[in-house]
Amino acid sequence: MDEIKLKELLGSKCERLGIFEGDENKGELEAGQGDGLINDIPTVKELFERLIEEIKTSEKKISAIS
């Protein structure tokens, strides 16, 4: 869904003020939707090692397609 359609759906609600207008006082911001997806809390080193491995895997998959 693009931003214009989403703005139309939200109308003048507090969500629109917070999310799209950046008004932290009158608007509302959403947070916490991804909490259930967290399985562990890696160190920065572990996080970057995972990221690098995922990049390498993705590169191999892309190379195989090309």
Which parts of the chain register pLDDT below 70?
Answer: 1, 7-12
- From the list 16, 61, 59, the residue with the least C-alpha distance to 7 is 16
pLDDT on residue 11 = 59
Find the helix or strand (DSSP H, E) in which 55 lies. Answer: helix 44-65
pLDDT on residue 15 = 75
Domain hosting 44: range is 3-33+40-65
Give the total number of structural domains in the chain.
1
pLDDT on residue 61 = 94
pLDDT on residue 24 = 82
pLDDT on residue 12 = 56
45 φ, ψ (degrees, to nearest 5): -60, -50
pTM of the model as a whole? 0.47
- Residue 34 to residue 2: CA distance in whole angstroms: 21
- Residue 34 to residue 42: CA distance in whole angstroms: 16
